[in-house]
Amino acid sequence: MGLELYLDLLSQPCRAVYIFARSNNIPFEFKHVDLLKGQHRLEEFQKVNLLTQVPALKDGSFTLAESIAILLYLARKFKTPDHWYPSDLQQRARVDEYLSWQHTAIREKESSVFHLKVFLPLVTGQPAPPESLQRAIEQLNVVLKQFEEKFLQDKPFIAGKEVSLADLVAVAELMQLMGTDHNIFEERPKLAAWRKRVEEAVGKQLFQEAHQTLLNVKNLTADQVAPEMREYMKQEFLKLVK
């Protein structure tokens, strides 16, 4: 049995895994898990990932959760080019540094803005309170400044001269806001130039393909979300306005 990747390209971590696998010609079977339909909660999927999250990997009888673990597994198993996860100690440390930081920084803050702008109105029929949205945007701006000044600096990529896993994870996270009217790249030329370099490094066609589901998110309607997921999302996202 070959490698299987369980993905929903609406998810930032899934896009990073997908782009990495495709750009390195890693053979895999794409298993679509529709988050809005609640397919990640089904008993069948829990046999692959008891944590009920995507992405998930199945390689024969071996299963693996968590996007960073999956990226590292793929890099090591398929011996991908060194620039993805450099053998140089200090360059690798730069990749590890970003991957350790991003969970509660970039990803957490951009997710809050995305949920307030897209999913909260979708499941409640009402826009997010302006003060909650403004607070989320201010928090996002803090970590974007940190990303530019601490991690990107004046380098072409996070770890130096070549694209790495850190860049894939970062660009998937920041592209999430392209599904809203909050275009952070228009406001930050350094970020826009970096994003273009990442896109060129992995291939424009693949980059656009991976983000197509996200860019169409504005066309979602409430009836495309399973009723039990609508209620769950409503309760979760209402916490953001408190």
Average pLDDT for 23-43 = 97
Query: Kind of pairing, strands 3-7 and 56-59?
Result: antiparallel
Q: What is the dihedral of CA 147, 153, 154, 158, to 10 degrees?
A: -60
Q: Give mean pLDDT, residues 41-52.
A: 96
Judged against a pLDDT cut of 80, whether residue 49 lies above it is answered with yes
52's enclosing H/E stretch is none
For residue 163, give the nearest of 59, 19, 10, 13 by alpha carbon: 19
- Cα(168)–Cα(127) distance, rounded to whole angstroms? 31
Is it the case that residue 58 has pLDDT exceeding 90?
Answer: yes
Give the separation between CA 46 and CA 105, rounded to whole angstroms: 28
Closest listed residue to residue 105, CA positions, set 147, 165, 56: 147
Per this entry, what is the length of the chain? 242
Q: How confident is the model at residue 1 (pLDDT cuts 50, 70, 90)?
A: low
Angle at alpha carbon of residue 140, lines to 164 and 71, rounded to 5°: 25
pLDDT of residue 183: 87
How is domain 3-81 classified at the architecture level of CATH? 3-Layer(aba) Sandwich (3.40)
Q: At what angle do helices 189-202 and 165-175 cross, to 10 degrees?
A: 120
Stretch 127-140: mean pLDDT: 95
Percent of all residues in the chain with a pLDDT value above 90, rounded to a whole number:
88
CA-to-CA distance for 125 and 129, rounded, in angstroms?
A: 12
Q: What share of the chain is helix, strand, coil (3-state, %, to 5)?
A: 65, 10, 25
Q: Which CATH number among 1.10.20.10, 1.20.1050.10, 1.50.10.10, 1.20.140.10 corresponds to the domain 89-241?
A: 1.20.1050.10
pLDDT band for position 181 (cuts 50, 70, 90): confident
Q: Where are the domains of the chain?
A: 3-81, 89-241
Q: Which amino acid is at 78?
A: F
What is the reported pTM? 0.96
Residues contacting 40, CB < 8 A, separation 6+: 8, 33, 49, 52, 53, 54
Q: Alpha-carbon distance 207 to 39, whole Å?
A: 25
CA–CA–CA angle 193, 96, 157 (5° rounding) = 15
For residues 69-79, average pLDDT: 98
Task: Please tell me the distance from the alpha carbon of residue 166 to that of residue 97, in angstroms, as a whole number.
Answer: 9
One-letter amino acid of 234: K
Query: Binning pLDDT at 50, 70 and 90, where does residue 91 land?
Result: very high
